[in-house]
Amino acid sequence: MIYNPAMRPIRASEIGSYLYCRRAWWYRLQGFEPENQAEMATGTRLHQAHGRNVIAAGITHSLGLVMLLTALALLAATCTASIL
């Protein structure tokens, strides 16, 4: 297929929307807005909060690993010092 600059790019979210519900995708393409805007806004806020929780969990996990490695290094240093 030859690229035509007049063609708009298709985004991954648009493909996901199409696969989830073809009719909703078509309506949105035609310019219709969904009637459940409040529910969609609530869902967006919940997804954002979940994303923040995932990031916080990753940071906590990394901090735990750093603390574990620090404790192991101190244990190794203490054992080495008591042997010498």
Compute the Cα dihedral for 47, 49, 53, 59 and give only its sign.
positive
Domain ranges of the chain: 12-83
pTM: 0.60
pLDDT digits (tens, 9 = 90+) for 25-40: 899 889 998 888 999 8
Q: Is the pLDDT of residue 75 over 80?
A: yes
